[in-house]
Amino acid sequence: MSSNTLALEATDISKTFGSVKANDQINLEIKKGKIHALLGENGAGKSTLVNILFGLYKADSGVVKVNGDAVDLGRPKDAIDRGIGMVHQHFQLVPVLTVAENIVLGNEPANKASVIDIDNAKEKVRELAEEYQLDVDTEATVEDLPVGTQQRVEILRSLYRKADILILDEPTAVLTPQETDHLLQVLKKLASQGVAIIFITHKLREVLEVADEVTVMRNGQVVGSTTPAETDESGLAEMMVGRSVVLRVSKEAASPDETVLSVRNLCVEDDRRLLAVNDLSLEVRSGEIFGIAGVEGNGQRELVETITGLRTIDTGEIFIGDTSISEFSPRQISELGVAHIPEDREKHGLIGAHSVADNLILNRYYKSPFSNRGIRQQKAIANYAKDMVDKFDIRTPSIETPSSSLSGGNKQKAIAAREFSHNAKLLVASQPTRGIDVGSIEFVHQQLINQRDQGLAVLLVSAELDEILSLSDRIGVIYRGQLIVTADAADLDRNRIGRIMTTGSDSN
């Protein structure tokens, strides 16, 4: 292999955060015009590595070569100047600025007095958008755009900077199947024009579909390289996790019983006072998992918040069993037997500064045996917490550790431990496996199925279509606050759901 086909070469990259070796002697070669997938669980060090390549982090040791020259990437500007562009996992766009302003930011077309020529900027953006079929409205404010479009803005920004090495950090995590397909087409087109692409993901299907080469990372080290031709999904999963993994959850047919949750003609407004949930009705019976599929921002959050008492009903009614909860506080609803795994675990699931033990009893700290006439019973709390930590395999140094220092997967296990031990009748689970590692996902999924088999009613909201498909007994597809289709899981397939959630219509 001659050196001029290599766009980027990283040698012996190491980076330590505190006592954690995030990257340990990483070697990576990226070829021009190829799509290189970087695969690994959360915490494997993929993001750290690409942040080093983009100059956001400084490596402790190691050499990065771009087009054969060793470079010092001290800050993002150095990387940008070398033709490296990055589409970030958390979009790096300024919400209040327009699309055109965001794209040209930092490299604005301007006259000598540094007055920005905004018409010129818009024109350049339009040309790029046309060339790569990345349709955007240059004058729209970024915060008003759906995530898929925001991502296009990020890609256009890299193209505007004439990037010939493009890094994408988990770009498909927020996209619908159709948007994902489109993105993969765009990536292939870019690669065919000679752009080298580093594509981070943990979705194996995408890797097999689009990648030319695959590098797998685990615990900060490269554990192997392969190509899609040489492997398959379970082979990749095994490399990622280091053991064989059950990708499909095995479950028996559901045996639903009486109705636990009944939502009738519900209308709810969002924070901007726009109608978010629009005349929505659904029923969830005990012993079944009802999955809500949909692009994020179609009213799922408002629906979940209303059921758990965090948002007021506009019109319509919600019943838990036979009780209407219209006037109930969140605690009253919780005491009716409603458990809740919130979508944002950092913000709404745990109190980060409080100990693991306190978080485990957050929904009943005021009850016996944890409280006696308003005095905390430390021993009972500690015993209970230790029990839960063992039972749910929560990896924490101690039960007194602040919950914010746990990893994402362990945080989610702690929340699951709290909510599953609640003698609940209904579990509202919102994005229960977002951003956690494959091992924890397996665990949470298995728990959901077990609880279902014991008679729990589960309302599952997830942006991951695969999760909805593999867990749900019945599925409702939500679009602009309405359930367009409700059907048994067996009667729906990926493509049909994808079509409904993007277009709101079931017809071809």
Q: Toward another protein, which CB reaches closer, 115 or 375?
A: 115
Placement of tokens 């009802």 in the chain: 290
**Residue 57 in the binding site for another protein (CB under 8 A):** yes
SS3 450: helix
Q: Toward another protein, which CB reaches closer, 323 or 405?
A: 405
Which residues, in sequence order, are bridge partners of residue 26? 13
Q: Toward another protein, which CB reaches closer, 102 or 462?
A: 102
Contact pattern from residue 297 through residue 316 relative to another protein, giving x for each residue in contact according to CB under 8 A and a dash for the rest: --------------------
CB distance 33 to 194 below 8 Å: yes
CA distance 351 to 357: 11
Residue 22 Cβ, how far from another protein at the closest point, in Å?
11
Q: Toward another protein, which CB reaches closer, 143 or 400?
A: 143
N-to-C CA span, the chain: 48
Q: Toward another protein, which CB reaches closer, 81 or 393?
A: 81
Residue 174 Cβ, how far from another protein at the closest point, in Å?
17
Q: Toward another protein, which CB reaches closer, 150 or 278?
A: 150
Q: Give the residue ranges of DSSP H helices in 1-98.
A: 46-53, 76-81
**Residue 60 in the binding site for another protein (CB under 8 A):** no
Distance of CA 383 to the CA centre of its chain: 34
- Total residues contacting another protein by CB under 8 A comes to 29
CA distance 464 to 486: 18
Which residues, in sequence order, are bridge partners of residue 125? none
The residues near 325 (Cβ < 8 Å, ≥ 6 apart) are: 307, 309, 318, 319, 332, 333, 336
Contact pattern from residue 145 through residue 184 relative to another protein, giving x for each residue in contact according to CB under 8 A and a dash for the rest: ------------x---------------------------
Instruction: Give yes or no for a cis peptide into 369 (omega within 30° of 0).
Output: yes
Q: Toward another protein, which CB reaches closer, 110 or 173?
A: 110
CB distance 202 to 240 below 8 Å: yes
Contact pattern from residue 82 through residue 121 relative to another protein, giving x for each residue in contact according to CB under 8 A and a dash for the rest: ----x-x--xxxxxxx---xx--xxxx-x--xxxx-----
Residue 34 Cβ, how far from another protein at the closest point, in Å?
24
Q: Toward another protein, which CB reaches closer, 6 or 97?
A: 97
Residue 121 Cβ, how far from another protein at the closest point, in Å?
10
Residue 101 Cβ, how far from another protein at the closest point, in Å?
6
Distances (CA, A) of 257 to 232, 261, 445, 454: 40, 12, 21, 11
Nearest to 209 by CA among 248, 175, 181: 181
Residue 52 Cβ, how far from another protein at the closest point, in Å?
11
User: Which spans of this chain sit near another protein (rule: CB under 8 A)?
Assistant: 54, 56-57, 75-77, 80-81, 86, 88, 91-97, 101-102, 105-108, 110, 113-116, 157
